[in-house]
């Protein structure tokens, strides 16, 4: 049994990811992959995690949980997603650290499924757009950010804490900014599907930022000029995106107290450097654009 878990981050298309996989449920089931409805585990898992804080679920208890979530006696892989499992959005910077609660929460999650192979999937995002998206109201910015030093925010620190919490669990990381081109692979990696298995929804993110005419032409082109591999496919997507991008859809307005262009540039440059740091973390696979 393999438990494939998308654990965040918030605001990196987590709900879109699950909707896409659920659209492919029948295809995935043919490959022994179960994508249960989030309603089946979003109450059960936090309760179980609290019970096994300092212990490990027995094999019998683990099997009961899996059967309850999947409604099946046996399968090869279970795919789940729940960003709030490690913290609620308002606690993202608890204690002045990015996802400071994650380390112990993930240990508890691992204790729920101690006899199964696990893997974590994580989306990261430029703090210059991640923080404005996460703040529900600029008036609440000070309370949200707390004592966090903006110039010290590193996703690599968070990923390292995930690896330290569960050293036997490999981690796959993708960048939010790359998702228009990498979405199909992100879906496949989470589901454990090979590159040649047909999957619906691989263009869902691209469709959000491309003009309708461009999407229509792209779909026609892909049907008549089927790419031979993922690299060729992405080159085609990039070419169409460059020509038909909807500038209004990608424009992001940032209005937070004390933020200026210099800070946004600094956060962006640091984030881009941090992506290289993430690539070098042992046990981590980074999905390249």
pLDDT tens digits along 179-216: 999 999 999 999 999 887 889 999 999 999 999 999 99
Average pLDDT over residues 247-258: 90
Whether 177 and 125 have beta carbons less than 8 Å apart is answered as: yes
**CA–CA separation, 215 vs 80, rounded Å?**
29
Q: Which tokens hold the place of 203? A: 């263009």
pLDDT tens digits along 217-232: 999 999 999 888 888 9
pLDDT at 55: 93
**CA–CA separation, 43 vs 82, rounded Å?**
11
Half-sphere exposure in the Cβ direction for 224 (13 Å, CA): 6
pLDDT tens digits along 153-186: 999 999 999 999 999 999 999 999 999 999 999 9
Under 8 Å CB-to-CB from 144, ≥6 apart: which residues? 90, 92, 93, 134, 135, 136
pLDDT at 228: 86
Largest CA distance in the chain: 56
Burial code (b: 16+ CB inside 10 Å, e: under 16) for 95-105 equals eebbbbebbeb
pTM higher than 0.85:
yes
Whether 34 and 78 have beta carbons less than 8 Å apart is answered as: yes
pLDDT at 74: 79
pLDDT tens digits along 59-98: 999 999 999 999 887 789 999 999 999 999 999 998 999 9
pLDDT tens digits along 14-59: 999 999 999 999 999 999 999 999 999 999 999 999 999 989 999 9
């Amino acid at each position: 049994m393999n438990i494939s878990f998308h654990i965040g981050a918030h605001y990196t298309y987590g709900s879109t990811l699950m909707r896409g996989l659920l659209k492919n449920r029948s295809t995935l089931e043919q490959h022994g992959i179960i994508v249960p409805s989030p309603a089946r585990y979003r109450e059960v898992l936090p309760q179980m995690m609290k019970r096994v804080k300092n212990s490990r679920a027995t094999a019998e208890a683990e099997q009961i949980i899996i059967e309850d979530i999947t409604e099946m006696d046996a399968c090869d892989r279970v795919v789940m997603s729940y960003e709030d499992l490690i913290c609620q959005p308002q606690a993202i910077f608890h204690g002045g650290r990015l996802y400071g609660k994650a380390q112990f929460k993930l240990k508890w999650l691992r204790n729920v499924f101690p006899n199964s192979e696990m893997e974590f999937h994580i989306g990261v995002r430029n703090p210059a757009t991640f923080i404005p998206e996460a703040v529900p109201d600029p008036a609440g910015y000070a309370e949200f950010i707390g004592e966090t030093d903006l110039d010290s925010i590193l996703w690599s620190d968070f990923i390292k804490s995930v690896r330290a919490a569960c050293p036997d669990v490999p981690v796959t990381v993708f960048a939010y900014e790359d998702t228009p081109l990498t979405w199909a692979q992100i879906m496949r990696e989470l589901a454990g599907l090979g590159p040649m298995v047909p999957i619906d929804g691989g263009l869902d993110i691209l469709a959000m930022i491309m003009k309708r005419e461009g999407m229509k032409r792209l779909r026609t082109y892909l049907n008549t000029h089927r790419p031979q591999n993922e690299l060729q496919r992405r080159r085609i997507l990039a070419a169409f995106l460059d020509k038909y991008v909807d500038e209004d859809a990608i424009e992001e307005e940032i209005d937070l107290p004390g933020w200026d262009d210099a800070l946004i540039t600094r956060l962006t440059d640091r984030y881009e450097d941090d992506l290289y740091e993430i690539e070098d973390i042992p046990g981590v696979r980074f999905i390249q654009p």
